[in-house]
């Protein structure tokens, strides 16, 4: 049976969700709200949606499902607005905000008393790109898509959502909004604070030691990649998850103090144990085992500095989908080879490894 899905916010997330819905439910009618004309036109012309508006109220009453893909503050405003509108009796409302407790609390306050079915949602993938032009049907593949049920959530909500969003090929999971915000403060929000702090610290050091810029290589790049994220989104994330992030920062300060003491005391054994514990913990984490958020399948190949070498390697890999190729810088102290090729999945990575092993004598490493 055809359904009407209303996506408010045709940015990276909203437009990518639209593509995912189209993939498995081509018969559904997709409507879109977007404040600016640019993303409305892109979404219409690319066939992501069937009709668009710049007036949020316009399509709300027609929708079976409303998906809010807006910044956190606007998501809360639109939840308040929805509580004042006449909606379909069976309507299901969800959102895509990166923090959940404030949004879910707004839904419990404004939508639950009106008997409107709401489930918090967070698709845990993204990029630094914004707008409908950056939409990608593969964005959420293998990524966790978190649902955070609350007072406003009816029993059918998760089953309806997982069916609607099956085309995203995401890994759906359900936890409380509070646990969501605590866990993401540790593995996402606080690391963004750290990455930007490291960048700002290095930036300041450049005035004393200009070569800082030149020597920053693989390890520093990996530690600070997320410092290029969009500042507006991260400002609102920090402000809507203050308690957990501040707690993580205080705990981290204590850990830094501990390491400082070990160094001051010249405690070789303690320092070794500190690195070893970090190494073992990282090895045991899922980031090593799957293509989850921001995690890909890499091969590192130590190739000679020779003309057309990359072309020769790509020829060997012909037919295998390559996500990225990177030639790593001169300072390769902390990586395993000069050429880094990234694949979409393990099968492609293994096939590439097999072919390169068979046809070349280069040293190839997977980790």
* Interface residue list for ligand NAD (CB under 6 A): 9-14, 34-36, 39, 69-72, 74, 96-98, 122-123, 126, 130-131, 233
CB of 148 to ligand NAD, least distance (A): 13
- For residue 31, list its beta bridge partners: 6, 51
Closer CB to ligand NAD, residue 133 or residue 322? 133
User: b/e for 312-341, b at 16 or more Cβ within 10 A?
Assistant: ebeeebeebeeeeeeebeeeeeebbbbbbb
Both structure tokens of 282: 């990282």
CB of 273 to ligand NAD, least distance (A): 36
Closer CB to ligand NAD, residue 293 or residue 309? 293
Closer CB to ligand NAD, residue 95 or residue 108? 95
Closer CB to ligand NAD, residue 146 or residue 339? 146
- Residues belonging to the chain: 367
Closer CB to ligand NAD, residue 99 or residue 340? 99
CB of 316 to ligand NAD, least distance (A): 34
**Strand order, beta sheet including 297-302:** 322-327, 339-343, 297-302, 363-365
Rounded to an integer, what distance in angstroms lies between the CA atom of residue 75 and that of residue 24?
26
CB of 122 to ligand NAD, least distance (A): 6
CB of 98 to ligand NAD, least distance (A): 3
Which runs of consecutive H residues, i.e. helices, occur in 241-345? 242-265, 268-284, 309-316
Rounded to an integer, what distance in angstroms lies between the CA atom of residue 210 and that of residue 38?
41
CB of 178 to ligand NAD, least distance (A): 18
- For residue 49, list its beta bridge partners: none
Closer CB to ligand NAD, residue 12 or residue 21? 12
Compute and round to an integer the Cα radius of gyration of the chain. 23
């Amino acid at each position: 049976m055809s359904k009407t899905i209303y996506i408010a916010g045709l940015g990276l997330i909203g437009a990518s969700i639209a593509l995912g819905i189209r993939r498995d439910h081509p018969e559904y009618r997709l409507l879109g709200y977007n404040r600016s004309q640019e993303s409305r036109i892109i979404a219409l012309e690319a066939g992501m949606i069937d009709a668009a508006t710049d007036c949020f109220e316009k399509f709300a009453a027609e929708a079976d499902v409303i998906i809010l893909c807006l910044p956190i503050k606007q998501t809360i405003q639109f939840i308040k607005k929805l509580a004042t509108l006449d909606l379909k009796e069976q309507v299901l409302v969800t959102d895509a905000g990166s923090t959940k407790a404030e949004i879910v609390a707004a839904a419990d306050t404004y939508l639950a008393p009106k008997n409107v079915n709401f489930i918090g949602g967070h698709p845990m993938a993204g990029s630094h790109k914004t707008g409908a032009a950056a939409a990608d049907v593969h964005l959420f593949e293998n990524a966790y898509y978190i649902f955070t049920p609350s007072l406003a959530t009816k029993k059918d909500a998760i089953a309806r959502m997982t069916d609607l969003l099956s085309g995203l090929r995401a890994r759906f999971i359900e936890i409380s909004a509070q646990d969501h915000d605590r866990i993401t403060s540790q593995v996402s929000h606080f690391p963004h604070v750290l990455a930007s702090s490291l960048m700002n610290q290095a930036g300041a050091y450049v005035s004393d030691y200009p070569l800082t810029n030149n020597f920053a290589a693989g390890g520093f790049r990996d530690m600070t990649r997320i410092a290029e994220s969009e500042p507006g989104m991260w400002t609102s994330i920090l402000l809507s998850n203050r308690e957990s992030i501040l707690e993580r920062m205080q705990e981290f300060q204590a850990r830094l103090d501990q390491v400082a003491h070990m160094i001051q005391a010249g405690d070789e054994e303690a320092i070794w144990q500190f690195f070893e514990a970090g190494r073992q913990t990282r090895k045991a984490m899922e980031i090593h085992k799957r293509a989850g958020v921001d995690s890909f399948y890499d091969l590192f190949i130590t190739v000679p500095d020779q003309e057309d070498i990359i072309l020769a390697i790509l020829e060997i890999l012909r037919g295998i989908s390559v996500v990225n190729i990177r030639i790593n810088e001169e300072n390769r102290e902390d990586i395993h080879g000069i050429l880094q090729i990234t694949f979409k999945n393990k099968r492609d990575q293994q096939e590439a490894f097999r072919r390169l092993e068979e046809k070349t004598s280069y040293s190839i490493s997977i980790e």
